[in-house]
């Protein structure tokens, strides 16, 4: 069974009362349910959601809806970085085109919509897209895959529950960090669960046998 986190007692949002107001509001806004998509169509949005879920190995529907909703909002407001390679579509167009092609590829291979595929069928198509093994017109599938993976990582790893999962200490302003040297932690920082670390080690994951947990 997957160990979701080695910091089971840690919730970064419990620290938010110690953050400056602007940062707290921004992070809290990521926990709100998303508005209906305005950049993507309902179909594109439903594909986006399942694709993000496969890319970051997450099946929590509520969390994926928020991530996809925040991506939609970002694209709608043109908050991207503005640059792209010659011969590659700008990010917004690339994502839209690629999502449509994923659906078309699903129909071609399986005679079903992408969202109706089994997880392994989805992964098979995504892997082919990553390796450039599907022929799409208008864009290379590799360029799309790079863009969608980058986008998924950026928005998924900006979610506070994922910060909690990986044991990220968070914004910490105005409080700051003081015990910063090797082996030291401030009292509010995430604490390892030794048993969970060892459980991961049994599955060949993580840092291996615990040498020391929290002095």
Applying CB under 8 A, which residues contact another protein?
A: 3-6, 19-20, 22-23, 26-27, 54-58, 79-86, 90, 123, 126, 130, 149-150, 152-155, 157-158, 162-163, 165-169, 171-178, 180-183, 185, 189-190, 192, 200, 205-208, 211-212
Cα 150 versus chain centre, distance = 9
Residue 93 to residue 143: CA distance in whole angstroms: 12
20 or 41: CB nearest another protein:
20
DSSP 8-class letter at 201: H
CB of 153 to another protein, least distance (A): 5
What distance in Å separates the CA atoms of residue 104 and residue 8, rounded to the nearest whole number? 41
Find the helix or strand (DSSP H, E) in which 197 lies.
Answer: helix 194-202
Minimal distance, residue 23 CB to another protein, in Å:
4
Residue (of 129, 83, 103) closest to 42 by Cα position: 103
The residue among 41 and 214 lying less far from another protein, judged by its C-beta, is 214
In whole angstroms, how close is the CB of 58 to another protein at the nearest point?
7
Number of C-beta neighbours around residue 5 at 10 A: 18
Whichever of 80 and 138 has its CB closer to another protein, that residue is: 80
Asked whether 72 and 45 are in contact (CB, 8 A), the reply is yes
Q: Which is nearer to another protein, 187 or 212 (CB)?
A: 212
Q: How far is the CB of 184 from another protein (least distance, A)?
A: 8
């Amino acid at each position: 069974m997957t160990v979701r986190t080695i910091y089971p007692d840690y919730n970064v949002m419990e620290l938010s009362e110690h953050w400056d107001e602007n940062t707290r509001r921004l992070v809290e806004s990521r926990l709100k349910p998303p508005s209906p998509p305005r950049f993507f169509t309902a179909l594109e949005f439903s594909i986006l959601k399942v694709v993000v879920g496969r890319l970051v190995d997450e099946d929590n529907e509520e969390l994926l809806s928020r991530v996809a909703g925040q991506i939609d909002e970002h694209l709608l407001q043109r908050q991207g970085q503005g640059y792209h390679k010659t011969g590659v579509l700008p990010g917004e167009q690339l994502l839209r085109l690629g999502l449509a092609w994923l659906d078309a590829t699903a129909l071609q291979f399986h005679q079903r919509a992408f969202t109706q595929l089994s997880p392994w069928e989805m992964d098979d198509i995504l892997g082919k897209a990553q390796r450039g093994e599907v022929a799409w017109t208008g864009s290379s599938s590799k360029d799309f895959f790079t863009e969608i993976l980058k986008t998924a990582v950026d928005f998924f790893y900006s979610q506070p529950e994922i910060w909690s999962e990986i044991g990220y200490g968070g914004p910490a302003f105005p409080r700051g960090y003081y015990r910063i040297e090797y082996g030291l932690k401030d009292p509010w920082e995430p604490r390892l669960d030794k048993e969970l670390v060892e459980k991961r080690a049994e599955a060949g994951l993580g840092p291996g046998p615990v040498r020391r947990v929290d002095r």
